[in-house]
Amino acid sequence: MKTFIIMFYCTLLSLSVVSQNAETNIIPQPQQVKYGPGSFRFDQSVRVLCETAPGVLYSARMFTDMMKISTGVELQFDSVRRKNTQYISIFRDDSAKWCGPEGYHLVISGNGIEIVALTEAGIFYALQTLRQLMPPEFSQNKKIDIATIEIPCMTISDKPRFTWRGMNFDCGRHFMEVDFIKRYIDLLAFHKMNVLHWHLTEDQGWRIEIKKYPKLTKVGAWRKEDDGSMYGGFYTQDQIREVVAYAAERYITVVPEIEMPGHVVAALASYPQLSCAGGPFEVEKRWGVFNDIYCAGNDSVFIFLQDVLTEVMDLFPSKYIHIGGDEAPKVRWEACPKCQERMKSENLKSEEELQSYFIRRIEKFLNANNRQLIGWDEILEGGLAPSATVQSWRGMEGGLEAASQGHDAIMSPTSHCYFDYSTTNINLEQVYSFEPIPADLPADKHHHILGSEACMWTEVAPQALIDSRMFPRLCALSEVVWSSPQGRSFTEFQKRMQFHYKRLNNLGVQYGYERDPIKLTTRFDKNKNAFVAVVEHGQPNLTMYYTTDGSEPGVNSAKYSEPVIINTSAEIKVAAIRPGSGKTAVESRKVCWHKALGKEYTITYPYHKKYIAGGDSNMTDGLRGTNSYRDNLWQGYEGLDFEAIVNLGDKMKISKVSIGTLQSSLAWIYHPLKLEVFVSTDAADWKKVGEVENKISQTDAATSVQDLTVCFKSQKVKFVKVYCSAMHQNPDWHPGAGGKAWLFIDEIIVE
């Protein structure tokens, strides 16, 4: 084997360097790529020379199985090298120390392919790279003539930048099938990711079988939906072992997350005695943060959790166990005699310190079982447990603080890593720009940043939507955590992605867009006395079609080529069609033509700087809001009523006044309680012409948009005043009870 290593490095040195960025189209990009003349062409005589270590042999057979599926040719294995034979040679060697625990060297010459690594994992990753050098159809049941497979001669020396390259998969809010999880393990491995963070317990569902506590899955795994149907599911212990073993064969560690002390309503519905209040509880069907959490003053809670974690540790050999620790309201603890007694007996000064006590007690149990605790960055509050690893999600600060204290950290800030967010909030380039090491972290602490994770929370993403949220953004993050940051170019990455889409197509990935595919902006142009709609392409290779009558656009609709002029109330819809894929994205905007359009107005109470929408012209710009309060069309008022006076300019006959409002109660936004309308000819003497009350319940968790309308006998007036009485704070039943409530308005419509 030493002879091979010497030959390997001689080959490496003899190859001419063409370009670090030459078009290999490998994602994530290798650390070093050096090109030589010529190419290697496959044929049926190519054989595999491979050591017999189980992991190496298994990875090699994965590759040859893919070759058989793709070409019909079954590559044969040899135990010794023959003369005049072309080989794919696959070996570990102790002298390949540069590779580290996951790196590899891959040499492609005209005579064969040589792979060497220090470990079995390195061999596996080398074969993933080799897969990406094959035609995009490779590994699928599409027959390729093996003689057409030709790879340029090159040497790749590669290893990862970070040891933690993960995906957080939330199966609590929406249940994912076992085969779907295995499919994602394959996709993660293909992109050289090595951690599946499996989020198994939530307010909305308990997904892991615990034999000592059968109600956790009999009760806690199922929630009653609004239509009365039951939704849920759970994984048996045999299924979990199956997933863990499947992942291990692909060098992916499965890290379970068992939430505590918050996000536990499903557990409390099963065993209400674990709460402060005693219940009863139902498994939550709403999304959000809920006040009922485990009672920190009740020793039976810790007995329960130790029993649960004992079974969890038997299923998951991972060094780490994730315990959540995030978003745990302290309201119940503040009123709980047992919790207050615990604080007194442990000399704890605050409920935050009580949470720290809770986490430390669990950590001590895990450490005694040779496991380490991971928690979200809230575990920093009240004092960090001695050997805990922090997963920083509310920004970079949590990871910076943990690493500065000598603790390990995993960086998953919402700004770059929350893939449940739309591309409006986090586009592909933003993910690619992510630097996991905080700028203010001293160099001697950099090693505490283990890496990063893509977080796939599933409140609004059931199984059918996961692909479109994860891809192509996972590809960008895979390069962030694997490749060197030096010389990184989004433009160059984006070019490689265009080829990589062919691979994803053949893998059946229903990927989404790199950024919002359509940027549709509408405005009222006073000079043209018309609305102007402008469409921008969010990424290359999209064709835009549109309608203005509210119908669904398609390839037979008008093709967008210039701004669209609209001089009436309308709904413009624009479709972006990706060639060859049949995938369509549709964006729409409504515009409203009315008598106050473009007119001046004054408001009594200020709008919030966070939600300015159209600023001082928002209420009469004719632009209607969507069902997203983040669309920059809704103007927000925090804890305030709304009053506005519109100057129509001239006296005109009117008989109807409306305002558009939005409600999203879990986001603390409510419809107004009431709309009152007044009219005047001089803005001094006002006549009330009517009022209307809101009919939509504040407890309705669904987002709703409505126009509150007052109709009255036609009158000739110059001024219109509207007054909306608002909810000023969240009601007692709300998870954020007492917090300032929001009023969102998009337009004052006068007809």
Digit-coded pLDDT (tens) for 232-247: 999 999 999 999 999 9
Q: Is the pLDDT of residue 19 over 90?
A: no
Asked whether 679 and 720 are in contact (CB, 8 A), the reply is yes
Of the chain, the percentage scoring pLDDT greater than 90 comes to: 88
Number of H helices, E strands in the chain: 17, 33
Long-range contacts of residues 77-85, Cβ cutoff 8 Å, at least 24 apart:
77/47, 77/48, 77/49, 77/50, 78/47, 78/48, 78/49, 79/49, 79/52, 80/49, 81/49, 82/47, 85/45, 85/47
d(CA 197, CA 725): 46
Cβ contact 124:250 at 8 Å: yes
What is the band of 583 on the pLDDT scale with cuts at 50, 70, 90? low
Q: Give the DSSP H or E segment for 303.
A: helix 299-315
Quote the distance between the C-alpha of residue 98 and its chain's center: 34
Please give the CATH number for the structural domain made up of 518-591.
Answer: 2.60.40
Intrachain domains 518-591 and 600-750 with the same fold: no
DSSP letter for 483, please: S
* pLDDT computed for residue 582 by the predictor: 63
**Two tokens, residue 517:** 């595919």
Range of weakest confidence among 48-62, 331-345, 526-540, 613-627: 526-540
63 vs 643: CA distance, rounded Å: 69
For strands 164-170 and 449-456, give the pairing: parallel
Tokens 């380490």 sit on residue: 372
Over the stretch 167-205, which tens digit does the pLDDT of each residue have?
A: 999 999 999 999 999 999 999 999 999 999 999 999 999
Residue type, 685: D
Q: Which residues contact 410 (CB under 8 A, 6 or more apart)?
A: 164, 166, 374, 389, 390, 391, 392, 399, 450, 451, 452, 453
Name the percent of the chain lying above pLDDT 70: 96
- SS3 state of residue 353: helix
- CB-based burial, 287-311: b 16+ in 10 Å, e otherwise: bbebbbbbbbbbeebbebbeebbeb
The full 3-state SS of 599-612, as one line of letters, equals: CEEEECCCCCCCCC
Domain 164-506 sits in CATH at 3.20.20.80
Q: Which two structure tokens, joined as six digits, stand for 700? A: 């309705």
Among 648, 664, 665, 722, which residue's Cα sits nearest to residue 689?
Answer: 722
285: pLDDT strictly greater than 90: yes
560 DSSP 8-state letter? P
The structure tokens listed for 436 are: 């996991």
- Architecture per CATH, domain 2-158, reads as 2-Layer Sandwich (3.30)
pLDDT band for position 22 (50/70/90)?
very low
Task: Please list, residue by residue across 97-117, b when 16 or more beta carbons sit within 10 angstroms of its beta carbon and e when fewer do.
Answer: eebbebbbbbbbbeebbbbbb
Closest CA to 433 of 395, 480, 468: 480
Nearest to 731 by CA among 723, 721, 741, 722: 741
Mean pLDDT for the chain overall = 94
CA-wise closest residue to 190 among 141, 232, 127 = 127
Identify the CA nearest to 166 among candidates 507, 463, 373, 456. 456
Reduced to 3 states, what is the DSSP secondary structure of residue 78? strand
Query: Is the preceding omega at residue 280 within 30 degrees of 0, hence cis?
Result: yes
> Residue 95: helix, strand or coil by DSSP?
coil
Secondary structure letter of residue 625 according to DSSP: P
What is the average pLDDT across 107-127?
98
Q: Judge whether 360 and 379 are in contact, CB under 8 Å.
A: no
Of 614-618, 672-676, 699-703, the range with the lowest mean pLDDT is 699-703
Q: Looking at 13-22, 146-155, 692-701, which range is the least confident one?
A: 13-22
| CA–CA dist 595, 601 (Å, integer) | 13
> What b/e string do you get for 213-239 counting C-beta neighbours within 10 Å, with b at 16 or more?
beebbebbbbbeeeeeeebbebbeeeb
Q: Report pTM.
A: 0.86
- Higher per-residue confidence, 539 vs 319: 319
User: Taking the domains of the chain in order of start, what are their residue ranges?
Assistant: 2-158, 164-506, 518-591, 600-750
Among 403, 497, 382, 408, smallest CA distance to 164 is for: 408
- Selected residue with higher pLDDT from 9 and 215: 215
> Tens of pLDDT along 693-739?
999 999 988 899 999 999 999 999 999 999 999 999 999 988 888 99
In angstroms, the CA 640 to CA 631 distance is 21
Q: What does the block give as tokens for 720?
A: 């219109």
CA distance 393 to 371: 22
The pLDDT tens digits for 454-474 are: 999 999 899 999 999 999 999
Beta strands in 272-430 (DSSP E): 320-324, 372-376, 389-392, 409-411
Residue 378, pLDDT > 80, answer: yes
pLDDT at residue 389 greater than cutoff 90:
yes
Q: 166-201: buried (b, 16+ CB within 10 Å) or exposed (e) per residue?
A: bbbbbbbbbbbeeebbebbbebbbbbbbbbbbbbbb
Q: If pLDDT is split at 50, 70 and 90, which confidence band does 541 have?
A: confident
Domain covering 600-750: architecture: Sandwich (2.60)
Largest CA distance in the chain: 105
SS (H, E, C) 264-280: CHHHHHHCHHHECCCCC
Burial of 258 from C-beta contacts in 10 A (0-12 / 13-18 / 19+): buried
- CA 36 vs CA 39, 40, 83, 108, 194: distances in Å: 8, 11, 23, 9, 31
Structure confidence at residue 23 (pLDDT): 59
How far is the C-alpha of 548 from the C-alpha of 529, rounded, in Å? 17
Of 141-150, 493-502, 656-665, the range with the lowest mean pLDDT is 141-150
φ/ψ of residue 172, rounded to 5: -85, -50
Please give the residue that has the higher pLDDT: either 307 or 1.
307
The torsion region of residue 233 among left (phi > 0), alpha (psi -120 to 50) and beta comes to left
pLDDT tens across 321-357, in order? 999 999 999 999 999 999 999 999 999 999 999 999 9
